[in-house]
Amino acid sequence: MQNRQQAAQVLAWAGVVPFAALALISTFATPAWLSDLLLGYALLILAFMCGSLWTGALARTDATSAPLFASNALVLAALPALLVPLAWAAAWMAVLFALHALAEWRWVYHGQPGWYRRLRVAVSLAVVSLLVLAALIGFSSA
């Protein structure tokens, strides 16, 4: 990679691939371990992204502690997704990723470079869309 911006873009879009795989496997009868693995990945990515709320809040001297609590609440709220059928889990994770994007917009975006804000919006839209697609496919095949 030539620079960190390019590396961030490649890694962010590569991180979307497992979400596409989740949508794809929801159309087929696949082993439970595969959907569990992909849902676990989604939860790990949500937890990783919740760190942005921490760094954003800690980087600003005028920030409230709300982003810190929101990030923890989002991760804890994601845990039940590991215990329910794929369609429900994907739908719930879509809600949580959308809430994370809103929290980032509220508390973190203004301190980030423009290229990164655009990347985060695009990747968040892709992830939420793929999770909704996985949920819809799962509900329609049930």
Q: For the chain, what are the domain ranges?
A: 17-141
The Cα–Cα gap between 74 and 76 comes to 6
Per-residue pLDDT of the chain (142 residues; tens, 9 = 90+): 579 899 999 999 999 999 999 889 888 878 888 889 999 999 999 999 999 888 888 888 777 889 999 999 999 999 999 999 999 999 999 999 999 999 999 988 887 889 999 999 999 999 999 999 999 998 987 6
**Nearest alpha-carbon partner for 22 in 128, 102, 124:** 128
Judge if pTM exceeds 0.85. yes
